[in-house]
Structure formats: structure tokens, C-alpha cells
């Protein structure tokens, strides 16, 4: 069962996956939601944003071997056929240049609409509470992107 295996993998991330996961969770303030160790078809990907259609894989040295390259190519082909863009980073990149990895990821993400777009409160919700939560998210957003609040310009894939 892919879900059982994914559940087990979520409990045993590599140190590099943990580092990247902490950073990916910070992107939630920008309107990007990632899941870790998520099943897609018969594969389990390290990280995925279904809304942005991006899969992120953190690879160890075994992925540089002939068998690893072959299986990664098949996996990437399948994921691309499902509409996903696949970003791969070596463990050493995550260890030595995490900021560069995050810049690369941000550069590939489409501009979110949830974060800065004005939204109307839904019926039954307190208007003040809704506005306060939105303002709090915008404050985190501005702070976490060094003033780029939801204005990530992205070249077409």
C-alpha cells in the first residue's frame, strides 16, 4: 500500500529532508502548501505542492549510479506526464547551500493568489477575526521574503 509506506517514510526523513522540510513549511505563509512523502501513482515523492504542480526530490549518492539514474528517469517521465515539474537536489546541495536551493524552488513556483489577494469573509465567520488572520499572514509573508511579498516573478517552465 503506497499510503502505508508513505506514512512510514514521513516518520523517518533524512537529515537533508528535515532541513528542507522546515524551509518548505515556511512557504505556507506565501500561499504554497507542500506535503512530504506523498504518494503519486505508484511512486512516493519526497515533497509535493499539488497546487503548484511541483515535486521536489532530495537525492543521495545512489541516484548517481546507473540503476538510480534509470529509475529516476522513469519516475520523472511519469510525474511529468501527470503535469508535475520535478526539481532534484543532491543531499550535499541541501547541506551546503540551503538558501540557494530555496531560491531555486521559489523561482519555479507560480505566483500564489491566496496570500495577497483580498478575500471576503465567509458567512458565519467573524469579519474582524478573518481580517486579523489575513494581516498576520501578510506580515509573515513580507518578513519571510525580504519584501517580495507574493511578487515572485516566474519564467514559464
Taking the C-alpha atoms of residue 156 and residue 125, their distance in angstroms, rounded to an integer, is 38
Q: From first to last of its 157 residues, what are the pLDDT tens digits of the chain?
A: 566 655 555 556 889 999 999 999 999 988 899 999 999 999 999 999 999 999 999 988 666 667 878 888 999 999 999 999 999 999 999 999 999 999 999 999 864 434 443 344 444 444 455 455 544 544 444 444 333 333 333 333 3
Range list of β-strands (E), the chain? 35-40, 43-49, 54-59, 85-90
pLDDT for 113 equals 38
Whole-angstrom distance, CA of residue 23 vs CA of residue 120? 29
Contact 44, 119 (CB under 8 A): no
In degrees to the nearest 10, what's the CA dihedral of 26, 149, 157, 78? 20
Q: Which domains occur in the chain, in start order? A: 2-111 (3.40.960.10)
pTM: 0.63
Amino acid at each position: 500500500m503506497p499510503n502505508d509506506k508513505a506514512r512510514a517514510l514521513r516518520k523517518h526523513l533524512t537529515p537533508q529532508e528535515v532541513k528542507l522540510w522546515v524551509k518548505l513549511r515556511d512557504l505556507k505563509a506565501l500561499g504554497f502548501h507542500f506535503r512530504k512523502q506523498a504518494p503519486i501513482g505508484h511512486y512516493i515523492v519526497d515533497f509535493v505542492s499539488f497546487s503548484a504542480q511541483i515535486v521536489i526530490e532530495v537525492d543521495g549518492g545512489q541516484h548517481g549510479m546507473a540503476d538510480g539514474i534509470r529509475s529516476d528517469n522513469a519516475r520523472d517521465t511519469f510525474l511529468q506526464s501527470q503535469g508535475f515539474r520535478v526539481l532534484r537536489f543532491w543531499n550535499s546541495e541541501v547541506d551546503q547551500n540551503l538558501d540557494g536551493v530555496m531560491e531555486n524552488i521559489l523561482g519555479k513556483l507560480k505566483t500564489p493568489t491566496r496570500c495577497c489577494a483580498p478575500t471576503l469573509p465567509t458567512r458565519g465567520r467573524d469579519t474582524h477575526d478573518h481580517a486579523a488572520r489575513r494581516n498576520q499572514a501578510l506580515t509573515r509573508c513580507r518578513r519571510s521574503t525580504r519584501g517580495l511579498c507574493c511578487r515572485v516573478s516566474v519564467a514559464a517552465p
